[in-house]
């Protein structure tokens, strides 16, 4: 079967499996359901292997979808291996408490083209195709915003940004500059999808570095643009008890990954492959992606894919009875995670 269809179906089924735990106030159950769906959907696929480059994370010490794990065709040594960045549920907290901001997502590229990113903070600027040539994060976010406004010949550009204390100053500045600011609680990968789908002009803010790989995949595959840089933990949490411990970890991570806090990382620095592919499916979703729903024996899933500058938005319907009779591996998941 075509790899794209397999990965599209994988994120859709992961969203369906996690649907059981929406609003149950347990983000671990949300994540575990999606992770198991990924394992089940990919473990027996033939013709390719997937190597997890950015996965569930070192801090989590995840038992599955960990960095270095191989998925797919483990029996045939001749098949091609691809790098993947995966987040079974980006936004476990909004899914657990049933508000907008959660998706299931994966991206893959040629082997040895993805940069492994540490569990650190990252400043990220993701802009639509219109503003690809305008941004220069090395000169600061205000410079890039002014350049985009000059290019567009208007001030009322739309920005999506996480509503966090670390962003309050730039939010005030953008309001003063005439920017229309849309605040979100979680999900900068989902926000970047909204930019691709024309819901906003850019996403800016400090979030997780591993998610930066997924945003880079989306940027390259949809012909947008992203720039980023790593951020010290103490810049985000200067007074936390664990700050000193995290500083020590950051030093080790930077040495391990040959990274620093000063370099501006472009999307192609994170994934050196113009043919990278990106997939996502809405869980509680929000913006241009709709949440998964269930009615009368059918799951309704809104999914997204981008590659080669082509953007696709899908509406998929899973008839549980029909799928169970034809796909036993999915039946296992549907039976286990039925609501």
- Give 2's pLDDT tier (boundaries 50, 70, 90): confident
Whether the predicted pLDDT of 56 surpasses 80? no
| 165 lies in the same domain as 289 | no
Q: Where does 34-149 show beta strands of DSSP type E?
A: 48-54, 70-72, 80-90, 103-110, 121-127
Provide the pLDDT for residue 65. 84
Q: Are residues 266 and 280 in the same domain?
A: no
63, 127, 65: which is closest to 90 by C-alpha? 65
Query: What was the pLDDT predicted at 8?
Result: 97
Residue 320 belongs to domain with CATH number? 3.30.540.10
Instruction: Show Cβ contacts of residue 263 under 8 Å, excluding neighbours closer than 6 positions.
Output: 229, 230
pLDDT of residue 46: 87
Question: Is a pLDDT exceeding 80 seen at residue 50?
Answer: yes
* Contacts with 36 (C-beta within 8 Å, 6 or more apart), sequence order: 17, 64, 333, 336
Q: Are residues 23 and 131 in the same domain?
A: no
**If we measure between CA atoms, which residue out of 252, 249, 224, 247 comes closest to residue 236?**
247
- For the chain, give the mean pLDDT: 94
> Rounded distance, CA 88 to CA 108, Å?
14
Is residue 165 classed exposed, middle or buried when 0-12, 13-18 and 19+ CB atoms within 10 A define those classes?
exposed
198/260 same-domain check: yes
Instruction: Give the number of domains in the chain.
Output: 2
Same domain, 125 and 209: yes
Please give the pLDDT value at position 43: 84
* Residue 123 scores a pLDDT above 70: yes
Structure tokens at 297: 């024996």
84 touches 91 (CB < 8 A): no
Can you tell me the distance from the alpha carbon of 6 to that of 76, in angstroms, rounded to the nearest whole number?
18
Q: Which residues pair with 184 in a beta bridge?
A: 162
81-122-287 Cα angle (round to 5): 85
Same domain, 126 and 261: yes
Closest by CA to 54, choosing from 103, 113, 4, 8, is 113
| DSSP letter, residue 263 | P
Domain shared by 176 and 254, yes or no? yes
- Work out the average pLDDT over 219-246: 93
**pLDDT band at residue 277, thresholds of 50, 70 and 90?**
very high
- Please check the confidence at residue 1 and state whether its pLDDT lies above 60: no
pLDDT classification of 61: cutoffs 50, 70, 90: low
Same-domain check for residues 48 and 181: no
What's the token pair of residue 172? Answer: 């005030």
Q: Phi and psi (nearest 5°) for 23?
A: 80, 5
7 Cβ neighbours under 8 A, 6+ residues apart: 106, 108, 277, 279
218 and 94 together in one domain: no
Query: What is the number of other CB atoms lying within 10 angstroms of the CB of residue 216?
Result: 32
Show the domain range for 200.
121-270
Question: Is 95:27 a contact under the CB 8 Å cutoff?
Answer: yes
Whether residues 281 and 266 share a domain: the answer is no
* Residue 81 predicted with pLDDT over 60: yes
Is the domain of 257 the same as that of 331?
Answer: no
Q: Is 158 exposed, middle or buried (0-12, 13-18, 19+ CB in 10 A)?
A: middle
Q: Is 264 helix (H, G, I), strand (E, B) or coil?
A: coil
Q: Tokens representing 237?
A: 């949490």
Tens digits of residue pLDDT in 7-46: 999 999 999 999 999 999 999 999 999 999 999 999 878 8
Residue tagged 């029996």 (tokens): 75
Q: Which of 236, 270, 304 lies at the terminal end of a domain, its last residue?
A: 270
The domain boundary residue, chosen from 241, 270, 299: 270
The verdict on 317 and 330 lying in the same domain is yes
């Amino acid at each position: 079967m075509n790899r794209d269809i397999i990965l599209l179906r994988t994120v859709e089924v992961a969203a369906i499996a996690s649907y059981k735990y929406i609003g149950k106030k347990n983000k671990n159950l949300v994540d575990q359901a999606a992770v198991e769906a990924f394992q089940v959907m990919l473990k027996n696929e033939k013709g390719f292997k997937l190597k997890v480059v950015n996965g569930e994370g070192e801090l989590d010490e995840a038992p599955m979808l960990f960095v270095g794990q191989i998925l797919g065709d483990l029996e045939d040594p001749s098949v091609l291996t691809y790098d993947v960045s995966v987040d079974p549920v980006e936004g476990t907290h909004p899914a657990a408490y049933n508000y907008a901001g959660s998706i299931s997502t994966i991206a893959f590229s040629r082997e040895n083209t993805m940069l492994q990113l540490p569990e650190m903070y990252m400043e990220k600027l993701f802009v639509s195709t219109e503003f690809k040539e305008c941004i220069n994060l090395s000169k600061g976010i205000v410079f890039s915003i002014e350049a985009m406004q000059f290019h567009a010949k208007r001030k009322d550009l739309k920005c999506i940004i996480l509503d966090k204390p670390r962003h309050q100053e730039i939010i005030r500045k953008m309001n003063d500059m005439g920017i229309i600011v849309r605040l979100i609680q979680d999900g900068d990968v989902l926000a970047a999808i909204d930019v691709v789908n024309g819901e906003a002009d850019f996403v800016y803010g400090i979030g997780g570095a591993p998610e930066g790989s997924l945003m880079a995949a989306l940027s390259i595959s949809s012909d947008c643009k992203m720039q980023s840089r790593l951020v010290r933990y103490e810049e985000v949490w200067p007074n936390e008890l664990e700050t000193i411990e995290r500083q020590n970890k950051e030093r080790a991570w930077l040495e391990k990954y040959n990274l620093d806090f000063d370099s501006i990382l472009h999307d192609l620095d994170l994934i050196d492959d113009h043919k990278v592919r990106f997939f996502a499916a809405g869980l509680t979703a929000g913006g241009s992606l709709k949440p998964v729903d269930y009615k009368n024996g059918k799951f309704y899933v809104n999914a997204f894919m981008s590659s080669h500058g082509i953007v696709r938005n899908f509406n998929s319907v899973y008839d549980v009875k029909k799928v169970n009779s034809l796909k036993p591996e999915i039946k296992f998941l549907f039976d286990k995670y039925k609501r």
